Structure 1
Amino acid sequence: MNENLFASFATPYIMGLPVATIIILLPIILFPSPTRLINNRLITTQQWLIKLITKQMMMMHSTKGQTWSLMLISLILFIGSTNLLGLLPHSFTPTTQLSMNLGMAVPLWAGTVILGFRHKTKSSLAHFLPQGTPVPLIPMLVIIETISLFIQPVALAVRLTANITAGHLLMHLIGGATLVLATINPPTALITFAILFLLTILELAVAMIQAYVFTLLVSLYLHDNT
């Protein structure tokens, strides 16, 4: 039962080779790119959404922070499209893998921290010791702030992994219950199917919201260090 329940989160293999790289590159192929001077409605809508997200996320940043706009927009598009594609039947969601999410969170977090220590050394060091701290509490607060700093990328990765995995597990469990009840008690199966339908809509929203939350937190870390 446990193997069947978590089988969809295992990395797929073809002829003994992992196909995670191909799956990660798949969302890039789905985004249309302009090939002529006059764009169609799909490309125009895509460009409008990208400009809206960029304006919303970069308006609070300084000039140094705005140089990260391309990376952050690419990040939110990648995570959002990967989460949405993972809701398709017989699909694989790379963002359910903690290793992949850590691979995204740690370099981005490290880049913002290094940027802060390089350009705002005094301000970055001041975060380790709040103003007005009593002398006996200084060592303890420095240790706590250091731990909280290093736990930021772990929190980013675990939050994304937990939310996507929990939603997929709920859909799997309710979907299995609906199939079983369809032959035993059809009226109850209709209720569980309605719940599954509402949960699918919720998961569509969660897929986009989690991409925005992940990117927004990286943007906030960048704002604190630029």
Structure 2
Amino acid sequence: MMTSLFDQFASPKLMGLSLILIALMVPLMFPNSLPRWTNNRFFTTQSWLINRFVSQLMTPLNISGHKWALLFTSLTLYLLSMNLLGLLPYTFTPTTQLSMNLGFAVPLWLATVIVGMLNQPTASLGHLLPEGTPTLLIPILVIIETISLFIRPLALGVRLTANLTAGHLLIHLISTAVYTLLLQMPVVAFLTSTVLVLLTLLEIAVAMIQAYVFILLLSLYLQENI
């Protein structure tokens, strides 16, 4: 029995070993699309969606940024798989862990910053000071822009963690209410279960949107540095 609602976000352990590694490997265990003579409708639709996503993501970037397409697409599918699998009963969602999300956000954000410093150091440093700034405000604005620059990976990780955590908590609270009211107030329990179904559909959409937003913001950071 859980002593706290947040116990569901604790990394599960078996015989003292953390099972988060197994949860991280599950999306990689899906069979790949092997070479075949004909593709079915599922693989055709999947390929069309991936191509549309890549074209939309890479359109604002110049040619030098297109080499990131494979990384962004793979990470999107990986986050999407973990977010959606975490909505299944009796499963663990690794993307509700802030440490893991920061592990994705910090290296990729740092890579975009390094790319900018190597390719166009003047323009990258110029982002710290808007053009036409009064002399007296230069030190303050440099400090503010530097803080906003370093806050970006934290915002990426916290956004993904907070949205998924809030959704899981709401689903848990409403499902507990349905279970409690089932025998005492069946009509209210039925209405509450309807809300639970609608909330689950909303969380499926949130899981997909948050994976997209995570990659979209990274692509915007990359766009500033290439």
Q: Return 23-32 or 211-220, whichever deviates more.
A: 23-32
Give the CA deviation at 1:216. Answer: 0.2
Task: Give runs of aligned pairs for residues 51-66 of structure 1, distance below 5 A.
Answer: 51-66=51-66
For the residues of structure 1 that align with 2:20 and 2:31, how far apart are their CA atoms?
19
For this pair of structures, how many residues does the alignment match? 226
Identify the residue that residue 91 of structure 2 maps to in structure 1: 91
Tell me, which stretches of 5 or more residues in structure 2 are unaligned?
none
Identify the residue that residue 152 of structure 1 maps to in structure 2: 152
* 1:34–1:43 contact (8 Å) kept in structure 2: no
Go from structure 1 to structure 2 and tell me whether the alpha carbon gap of 1:218 and 1:12 turns closer, same or farther (over 3 Å shift).
same
For the residues of structure 2 that align with 1:3 and 1:74, how far apart are their CA atoms?
37
SS at match of 1:11: coil
Give the CA deviation at 1:93. Answer: 0.3
* 1:32–1:43 contact (8 Å) kept in structure 2: no
Question: TM-score, with normalisation over the residues of structure 2?
Answer: 0.97
Identify the residue that residue 131 of structure 1 maps to in structure 2: 131
Once the two structures are superposed, residues 162-189 of structure 1 have per-residue CA deviations (whole angstroms, 9 ceiling, x without a partner) of 0000000000000000100101111111
Identify the residue that residue 77 of structure 2 maps to in structure 1: 77
Identify the residue that residue 216 of structure 1 maps to in structure 2: 216
Give the CA deviation at 1:41. Answer: 2.1
Question: TM-score, with normalisation over the residues of structure 1?
Answer: 0.97
Task: Give runs of aligned pairs for residues 10-25 of structure 1, distance below 5 A.
Answer: 10-25=10-25
1:5 maps onto 2:5 in alignment:
yes
1:38 maps onto 2:28 in alignment:
no
Identify the residue that residue 195 of structure 1 maps to in structure 2: 195
Give the CA deviation at 1:2. Answer: 7.0
The alignment's C-alpha RMSD in Å is 1.2
SS at match of 1:6: helix
For the residues of structure 2 that align with 1:57 and 1:49, how far apart are their CA atoms?
12
SS at match of 2:89: coil
For the residues of structure 2 that align with 1:31 and 1:223, how far apart are their CA atoms?
33
Percent identical residues: 56
Tell me, which stretches of 5 or more residues in structure 1 are unaligned?
none
For the residues of structure 2 that align with 1:4 and 1:133, how far apart are their CA atoms?
51
Go from structure 1 to structure 2 and tell me whether the alpha carbon gap of 1:200 and 1:143 turns closer, same or farther (over 3 Å shift).
same
